[in-house]
Structures are given as C-alpha cells and as structure tokens.
Structure 1
Amino acid sequence: MHPPVDPVIFEFGPFALRWYGLLMAIAVIVGATVASREIERRGRSSDDFWDMLIWVLVPGFLGARLYYVFIQSPRDRLGDYLSDPLSIFRVWEGGIHIFGGFIFGAIALWLYTRVRKLPTLVFLDAIALGLPLAQAIGRWGNFINQELYGPPTNLPWGLAIDYSTDPAKNRRIPPYDNIILYPESTRFHPLFLYESLWNLAGFVLLLWISRRFARQLRPGDLLLIYLIWYPLGRFFIEFLRTDSWFFPGTPFNTVHLLSAVALIIASILLYRRHQSAPSQS
C-alpha cells in the first residue's frame, strides 16, 4: 500500500490546496451533518448546532495542534517548532491530536451552550455520534501525508514510506530513516487505517445504539459510550506508535494514560447513572 497522489492538489502563488486539508474539511462537514440530524431527531433546532459549530471548531483545532506540538510530536522536533513559532499553526501540514481537540472543543461547547441556554449533554451526544465518522474520514489525510505509521511489518497491507536525502521529501522518522537497516522495500503498520476502521465501527455501533435503545438512553449516554469505545481502541493502537514520547523504561505514553482514565471514568459514570435513576424516553 502506497499513497497514490501528491499531498498538494494544486498551487496558486503562495497558496496551496492540500489533500490533508480537503479531507479534514470533508470530515467536518460529514460529521457535522450527522450531528445536526441527531439534534433535530431529539427535537432541537439544527440551526443552533450550525451556529455553535464555528465556536467549537476553531478552539478544537487549536487545541489539537498545540497538544500534538508540545506533547505528541517527537522531542527532537519540538526545537524546530519553537525556532519557527508560525509553524505551530500550520495545521494543513499535518500533525494534530484528537485529545487536545477534545479538551479545547469541549470547553468551548460548554461555554457556548451555557451562554445560549442550550442542553449541553444533547449537543455533546450529537457530536459523539458524528465525530467517529469524521475521524474515520480524516485519518486518510495521514495516508496521503505518509504519517501515523508503526513499526515494520510483513503483512500484505503494509504501508510504503518514502525515503529521501532531501529533508523536505523524506517521510521516514528515526530509526527508520536508516536506509541500510530499513531499505525502501520496507513496509510499515498503517496505524491510520487501523484507527479509521475502529472509528467507522464505532460510528456504526453508536448509530445502532442510538436507534435501538432510544427509550433507555439518557442525555450524555452516547458521549460516555464514545469515551469508552474510542479510548479502548486508541489504547492498543498506541503500542505501535513510533512517533510518540514514552515514559522512560515503559511501553506507555501520555495517550495510554489519558485513554485509560477516560475509559474508566466513562464506564463508571455510565453504569452508575443507569443504576441510580430510571431511564428517560
């Protein structure tokens, strides 16, 4: 498996349209459309959702980028970002992290719904339904950018990663940029594909639950189920990451910790809220 196209679709002077940015835009539109329809299904106006969207997306993308730069990116790249601070905001070049988006986006959504006196949990449920589908689409931007890959593999779906002596064209990260140990024929685990498929399965599961158990679900349940499903898959995928900082002497990184915390807390809350109160239609 190899990226079939150039990351840049076309250039016009200093401006360039990239596949990464286009796929992210498509992902946002598709996910937001699913969420807006869920809002309507719950008897609310979809206009409230679309009005809210920009106020959540901007801080969400900012948080996703800042998390990647300062926590997720390899330590040897942090100096590059700090020496060129504007590069921190070049989201279109790749390098965002969903956990940062969760934190900043959730804070923005909470503030917006509080100010507009909207039901926060209903909006969070709607986003939790559309988000995994958006993630499944957006991950293919990593495929075109040749990023989010794991260690070498002999599996038939292994991903080819370009090597070049030109740093601008080289997509190999250490130690896989050693062409003697890892020749150009080497294939790598396509982690973007694993996560894309996991997210797609999560969307199907959440959609089925939202319809099959509509009378038993309470506002906030879909969010909690998402916070169980996604971190569960991400926890195990992280063991194959090659571009993360790991706690010294362990196979664990910050995402492992955050995933475990989210999964445990969400599971406890989901269990307790259905033990302590009757279901709502």
Structure 2
Amino acid sequence: MDVRQFRHFAAVAETLHFGRAAERLGMTQPPLSQSIMALERELGAPLFVRTKRHVRLTALGEQWLPRVLEALAAVDDLPHTARRLRDGQTGRLSLSFVSTADYSVLPSLVRRYSQAYPEVEIQLVEATSDVQLPALVAGERHAGIIIPPADRALPPSLIYRRLLSEPLIAAVPNAWIDEGRIASDAGITRAEVLASPLILFPKQVAPAFHDLVTGYYAALGGTARIVQEAIQMQTIISLVSSGLGMALVPASLRNLARAGVRYAPLAGAAPRLETGLAWRSGETPPTLANFLRLLDAESPSLADGSI
C-alpha cells in the first residue's frame, strides 16, 4: 500500500460516495474503485459496506480512518518540516561546556538562542576541555565551550573562536578574613597568595587553567602549594568554604554564591582566562550556523566579558 491509496481511502471515507470522492481526487470512478479493492485485498478485510444506494465504513474502516488522516497530515507536513530543518528553525543543537562557562557565557547564550529558536532541542553536556576535544573531532557534539591551550594548538579539524577573556580572582574562606589570615578582601597581596594553600583543577584534565594558575605563582617568585584537586568548579568552591584552601577562579564565579566563601581581586596584574567555542570545520549543521550567527550579534559584549 502507498500514500496514494491512503488518499483514495480517506476521500471515500469522508464523502461515503465513490463518484464524489473521484471528483475530489480528480480521477474517474473505476480506477478509484479498483484502488480501494486492492487496498482491501492487502488488508485482508473490507473497509466499506457497499449497496446500490449507500456506502458506509466497516468497523475496521471507522477505526483506521483517524490513523490514516493523521499519517496523511504528517506526510503533507514533510516539505514544511524539511524547510524548517534546512533553516535551523527546528532540530537539535548539541553543545558541551566547561564548568566555568556555566557562570559566564553559557546561560545568556542558551537563553537568547532558545528565545530565537524555541523549537530547537538544545542538548547540554558538561565536560572538561580534554574530554570535549576528541568528542568534537569525532562529531559527537556540534560545538563545545572550552578553555583553549595557551598556544591555541587545537586539532586541525576544529575551528576556534574566542568568546570571553576575564581576570582571575581569589576565592577565600570567610574565616581566613575573620581571623586576619587575609588582611582584607579589597585585594589579595602577593605574600598572601604565596602563603595560602591552593585548591586547583588537575593538570591532566585542565592543563591550560592549571598552567595559567601555576604560571602566575611562578611570576610572583614562588610555587603553588596545592593541597587538593577537583575537576568541577562547584566542588572547588565547596572545598574553599570548608576552609581547606584558597582557589583562583574566573571573575564570573562571583555568580556562584556560597556560604563561607568570599571573592576578592588579586592585587596587581591578574592573569586572564580565555574561554572560547570550538567546532568542526566543513559542513555546518543549520542549528549550529544559527548559533554562530547569534555569536556574531553578541561579539562586543562577549569580547569584553559583559555578557
């Protein structure tokens, strides 16, 4: 059976008259009757009860008609759906992101994209940059918000675009300030940074961030005393609140309020953390193309970190 037979059945079922159904379909009655009989033979049961004066649906025909009409409506909608998929108005956008992006660029971008393309399903997966990159190369995600290596040495199949550059600040336990271990939250001094135990991402999962922080300690003339490592920023802040140590975090982490933690700027020139978007070169899915166009519209606010 095919779509043409479904249309024949629906026309006869709605008119209960082979002649009027044939007129609606723009065909003559004999081939319409033959089409219905062929459909009934394939089903192994009659769809209509025919008399010289009347045509009516059988029980099978009555129960089958709503499903046939639903299927025909879906078929008729296919060209419209294809155009919407082509234009990225519907479909799916798969986006991975580092945990730090959850407090900076991610919420605003997702909100604005959802407002512009409400019928697109957004799949979000949190992952460290080292996990994201091979997944992006393999095509498992459309794009990923990452912290790039200091030398920008990404796989050649990926395209990279900077989204945000922001200074690092210190997250310190409230108790340290209350006890005078940190003199003031107006600016953490060089001596205080070097004297404080540090909580940090492991180098193997966040090499760029790790090197940025340890390089800052080296520039201050000292070495970071790492007392604990964690792979999620929320965990790092929780460890700070417990008094275990201090953490250097992106300035956008001020959006993560946590009891027992105070955020303070670093005295002097602070290191800056860059966050960017990576995606595969070549054919760009329509949903991703629209996401990139949204980034074009947001470029000024993204670049200066005001998003």
TM-score interval (norm. to shorter): under 0.3
The structure with the largest strand share of the pair is 2
- The answer to which structure has the higher helix fraction is 1
Larger Rg: 2
With normalisation by structure 1, the TM-score equals: 0.23
TM-score, normalised with respect to structure 2 = 0.21
